[in-house]
Structures are given as structure tokens and as C-alpha cells.
Structure 1
Amino acid sequence: MLEPIGFLLLGLLLVTLGADSFVKGASGLAQGRGVGGFSAGLAMVAVGAAVPELSIAVAAVLTGHYELAVGTVIGSCIANLGLVIGVSALVKPLSTSFRLVDVALPILIGTVLALLLMGLDGGLQKLDGSLLLLAAVAFGWLIKRAASSEPEAVRKELAYAANTQTEAWRNLLRIVVGLAVLGYGAWFTIGKALKISAHYQLSDLWMGLTVLAVGAALPELAKAVVAAARGHGNVVVGSAIASSVVNLVLVLGLLALWRPVALPTSLLHVEIPALLAFALAFYPMIRRDAVVSRREGLILVLAFVAWMVWLLLPRF
């Protein structure tokens, strides 16, 4: 089974490269048309980091594997909080004055609680999907509102993150190539993930929560570590929290609106409560002094490792 595993990693690499090309192309095209670097960086932080998970979820849905999509979304959110923020804080304490975080973190906690309530009837219905998409619109409006009062340090960090070439032809090519590579990579990844899960008799939900979620988070982790080393804590924390919100309200909202999604019992009893626990644990870390210290980063990483061990041990 080494060959399918290698191909799965290749698929995740294609997803990463495609998403990066698409996001940079869209950002460069927008800046070339007069959008400021701060606004472009804000969009990249709020939405761009969620593109890999969105593509994988869409590919999973189109192949009829909804649990794989849901598992990837929930697992990615946990990885953002435990792995990405935790490891980045170990590299350098994450100081943040990003107002987006003040908006996004309560929404993240509220959305997780809402998912638990929505799932009481066994799944997400079209009405639930509509409500989640309305929450996505509200989230976008709140981000835009908060952006007007962002400190200058935040503006500089986001403008730096969005710095790219602005030639229209180059960015149109980036977008087209990026979408093609992203779509193929997501389809390829799902195919190999299903082959591995069938061979080892693993559930779609488990594959999403572990292999796909961590695989999708690793490129973001690499970017976050670089940003943390540069002292760009706002970018690290803002991207992790905002992309988690986007994953929950936009991705799950679209899935439920497309077709009602059955939620396995374990999601309501274990995985979603675990995400809630990570979010609630992180809240006082960032609210107390607006800094995620190395000690707090270590706590998050150890919690994430314990979570992964808990998921992996019964399978091996």
C-alpha cells in the first residue's frame, strides 16, 4: 500500500500548489485593479487559507462521500487551533492586535455550539445550510466593519502577506492553472484516500479527521511558522481562526444546502465537542494578554498530539 500512500501525498501537494496559485492570482489581479494590499491580505487570511479544505470537501461530495468531507472540515479546524497555532507559538510567541480575531473567535465558538444543536435531529438539513451561509455573509460583513479600525501594524503585516506581482495576464494564468491543478489534485486525493480506507477498512469520517485534515493543514503550518519567525503573529492567528470559521459556515453550509448531510453519532458526542474544547481553551489564551506564549503553544500541541493518538490507537 505504499504506492497509494505516496500518490495521496502527491495529491495533497497538488492541492496545495493549486490553491496557492489561485489565491495569489486572485490577490494579484485584485491589487492590479486598485485594491489595496491590506484588503487583499485580509481576504487571503480570511478565505484563502480555507481553499484546500473547500476543494477536498467538494471533491468528496461529488463522489458521494459526505462523511469524508465533514471529517476533513472538523479535523482541519482542530488542526488549525492545536497544530498550526501551537507549533507557530513554539517558534516565537504570537502577539496579536488583529480585530478580526476578536470577531472570529466568538463566532467560531458560537458556530460549533450551533452545529451541536443542528445535529440533534441526526444531520444538517437544507435549512441548517441556509443558516450557516447567512452566518458566512454576516461574518464577512463583520470582518469588513472591523477592518476600518485595524491597527497600522496589522495593516502592514497583511499587506506584506499579500505582496505579489500585479500583471493581469500573469495573474489570470495563475488563476486558471491554479483552479485546474486544485480541482485535479482534490479529485486525485479523494480517490487515493478512498483506496487506502477500503484496504485498511477505515471509515470515511476517520480518514477526513486524520489523514486529510492533517495533510491539508501541513502547508498552512509551514506558512505559519515562517510568518511567526518574522513576528507576524496577527497573520498566523487570524488565518487559523478565520479559516476555521469559513470551513464551518461556508463549506458545511454549501454541503448541507446541496444535500442534507447525515452526522454520525460520534461527531456529536466526540469530534465536535473536541473542537469546542480546543476553541474554549484557546479563548482565554488570546483574550488575557493578546499573546500566545510558548508555554500555551506547547499546551495546544500536546493536546493535539493526544487527540491524534486517541484517534489512531484503536486502528492499529
Structure 2
Amino acid sequence: MIAENLLIFLLGLVLLVKGSDYFVKSASTIAEKLGVSEFIIGLTLVALGTSIPELASSIAASLQHASGIVIGNVVGSNIANIGLVVGLSAVISPVKTEIEMLRRDGYVMLFAAVLFFVFILNREISILESAFFILIFIAYVFFLFEESEKYKGKLHFKEFIIYFFKFEYISSARQKFNCIRDSNAEGENCQSREGFTKDILVLVLSCGAIIIGAKYFVNKSIFFAELLGVPETIIGTTLVAFGTSLPELVVTLSAAKQGFGSIALGNIIGSNIANIFLIIGFSGLIYPIPVEQISLFFTTPAMILISVTLLVFISTDWEIKRWEGIALVAFYASFLIVLLRMG
């Protein structure tokens, strides 16, 4: 019985990881055909693609009212993304950084973590707060794709906040929808949609694999949590978070080995932003998410602390050095030791 459940658990994880791999490849191909830069691909499509396991497993957990897995998955994945993934990447090869990673995307990532902490102070993520998260994420994506010329390279956190509260993303969204609706639309912001059939088909099939994998992965995670008598939040923060962070680990280590540090780091920062705004947002729209004490007093503050640490490392000579990578890995290992002792 245990062997059978373990096999299904591993098969679900394989579907999640491989489905995400094909999703990333097809999404990147589509973005390249649209003329989008590699750094923006890393921040958006690749980040979103590698966050799909977290999204699928969190929605599956939310439908089963397993709120501990939802919160633990997101917070644990964000900590693993920085401590394990960025840390190991820097150990393999020092990661070059850019000022935009700090002043725009890094601050947005930290803003997401702090806003999440503020929202859980009342021990629940409400449906309204979840909708607000999704709205911020949509605005962030449009800001990255639409506003580079308008702000002439000054795509910083301050400009994003102004963009968000002025609701400028509404006109950006309307323009994109007009391009999609009218296949003959012309203009500098409307791109040709030819040659996407195969990529879109792979995108759809990979999403199907991810959804199926998430269902079984979460079901068996809950099974083992109950079998071992371990709280769902601990399982979500460790086992589920590590499993769903595997795509980020594979993609980022591959990018680091090939010298594409900006894609590697952009992927992680974008994934952490998507994990909070998009995944918590969608999960909380299904049911309000109750928050356990361990998330409020330990795991979320740890996520904020390691996020601040990453931003400091980014700004030191605009490179994440090997010793800084070792420090991040050590932080993650210490976090796991303390967490498991608390459990």
C-alpha cells in the first residue's frame, strides 16, 4: 500500500517536472517569435512556466481545503528558490547581476513578500486580498512588456507603483485584446501570430500533464502527512515545496552553466513574484486561506529575510559570488533543520 502510494507520488512529480520543462521551452519559443528580450522571458514566461507546478498543486490543495500545503508550498518554494537554486547556481559559477534586478524586480519581489506578511496578520488570506494579488501580477506583466520605451529604461519600482495605481495596464490590456481579436491588426504593438500552432499545442499538452501530475502529487503528499502524523504546513514547506521547485532548479542551473546569469536570476525573481501574487491569488479565490501560527511567526519572516539577503548580494559588485552562494545554501539548510525540529 505504501509502495503503491509512493510510486503514484513520484509519477505525479515526474509529470509536474517534465510538463513544466516542455511548457518553458514552448513559451520561450513563442516569446522569441514575438521579439521579447531574454531577460523579460526569464522574468515572465520562463518564471511563470516553472511556477506552474506550484500553481497546479496549490489549486489542487485549495480544492481539498489543505490550506497548510498551499501556504507552505508557496513560502517554502520561495525560500528554496533563493537558498537552494540561486545558492547552488552561484557556487557553480558566479552570477552576474544588473541594476534592474534590484531597483525594479528585486523590490517588487520584496514588496510581494512584505505585503503577503501584512495580509496574513489576521491569520487568513481573504478572497478580496487574493483578487488584489492577481491584479498586481497582471499589472506587473503588462508593465514589463509595454512600458520600456515610455520610461526610457527607468523601469524601477517607483514607476511600477505609479503605473499600477494609475490603472494604465487597462489600456495596455485593451490594446492586446484588440490585436488578438483582429488577426489583421497592424501597428508597432501588434505582432504576427503565424507559426505558433505547434508551440501552442505543446503548451496545451504540457499544461495537461502538469494538472494531472499536480492532482496525484498533492493527494499523495496529504496521504503521507497523515500517515506520518506531520502537519500539512511542514509537508508543504519541505516535501511539496522542494518537489515543485525542481523546475526552477533545473532551468536555473542549466542557465548558470551556460553563462546566462540574467535568465537564471530573472527566472527565480519572477517565480517568487508569481508564487505570491498569482498562486496565492488563485488559490485564495477558490476558498479563503487560513494561516497557521508557524507560517506567521517563522516561515514567512524567513522568506522576507532571505529575500533581503539576496538583494544585498545582488548589489555587491553586481555579482553573486561563490561565497555568497554558499551562504544562501547554508541559510536554506539551517531553515530546514529548525523547521523539522519545530514539527
Q: Same fold (TM over 0.5)?
A: yes
Q: Which residue of 2 aligns with 1:209?
A: 237
Q: How far 1:257 sits from its partner (Å)?
A: 2.6
Q: Which residue of 2 aligns with 1:162?
A: none
Work out which of the two has the higher radius of gyration on C-alpha atoms and give 1 or 2.
Answer: 2
The residue identity in structure 2 corresponding to 1:87 is: L
Q: Which residue of 2 aligns with 1:80?
A: 81
Task: Output the CA distance in 2 between the equivalents of 1:48 and 1:98.
Answer: 24
The residue identity in structure 2 corresponding to 1:122 is: R
The answer to whether residue 136 in structure 2 is matched with residue 129 in structure 1 is no
Q: How far 1:231 sits from its partner (Å)?
A: 1.1
The answer to whether residue 222 in structure 2 is matched with residue 194 in structure 1 is yes
Unaligned stretches of 5+ residues in structure 2: 154-193
Aligned residue runs from structure 1 range 210-225, under 5 A? 210-225=238-253
| Worse-matched range after superposition: 110-119 or 183-192 | 110-119
Q: How far 1:26 sits from its partner (Å)?
A: 3.9
Task: Output the CA distance in 2 between the equivalents of 1:28 and 1:87.
Answer: 27
Q: How far 1:209 sits from its partner (Å)?
A: 0.3
The answer to whether residue 41 in structure 2 is matched with residue 41 in structure 1 is yes
- Tell me the number of residue pairs that the alignment of Structure 1 and Structure 2 aligns: 299
**CA displacement, residues 130-176 of structure 1 (integer Å, 9 cap, x when unaligned):** 221222133223323575567xxxxxxxxxxxxxxx95443233123
Q: How far 1:16 sits from its partner (Å)?
A: 1.2
Q: How far 1:89 sits from its partner (Å)?
A: 0.2
Q: How far 1:29 sits from its partner (Å)?
A: 4.5
Aligned residue runs from structure 1 range 225-264, under 5 A? 225-264=253-292
On the 8 A contact 2:97/2:261 being kept in 1, the answer is yes
On the 8 A contact 1:101/1:237 being kept in 2, the answer is no
Aligned residue runs from structure 1 range 1-316, under 5 A? 1-29=2-30, 31=32, 34-38=33-37, 41-42=41-42, 43-97=44-98, 99-144=100-145, 147=148, 167-314=195-342
Q: Percent identity?
A: 27
On the 8 A contact 1:29/1:167 being kept in 2, the answer is no
Indicate how the Cα distance of structure 1 residues 30 and 298 shifts in structure 2: closer, same or farther if over 3 A, else same: closer
Task: Output the CA distance in 1 between the equivalents of 2:236 and 2:104.
Answer: 28
What is the SS of the residue equivalent to 1:47?
helix
The residue identity in structure 2 corresponding to 1:16 is: V
Q: How far 1:250 sits from its partner (Å)?
A: 1.1
Task: Output the CA distance in 1 between the equivalents of 2:46 and 2:99.
Answer: 11
Task: Pick the structure with more helix per residue.
Answer: 1
Task: Output the CA distance in 2 between the equivalents of 1:147 and 1:82.
Answer: 31
On the 8 A contact 2:99/2:318 being kept in 1, the answer is no
| Worse-matched range after superposition: 137-146 or 108-117 | 137-146
The residue identity in structure 1 corresponding to 2:256 is: A
TM-score scaled to structure 2, two decimals?
0.80
Q: How far 1:90 sits from its partner (Å)?
A: 0.2
Unaligned stretches of 5+ residues in structure 1: 151-165
Indicate how the Cα distance of structure 1 residues 314 and 122 shifts in structure 2: closer, same or farther if over 3 A, else same: closer
On the 8 A contact 1:28/1:167 being kept in 2, the answer is no
Task: Output the CA distance in 1 between the equivalents of 2:8 and 2:99.
Answer: 39
TM-score scaled to structure 1, two decimals?
0.87
Q: How far 1:44 sits from its partner (Å)?
A: 2.2
**CA displacement, residues 73-122 of structure 1 (integer Å, 9 cap, x when unaligned):** 11100011100000000000000227255312112212222222212222
| Worse-matched range after superposition: 287-296 or 41-50 | 41-50
On the 8 A contact 1:71/1:205 being kept in 2, the answer is yes
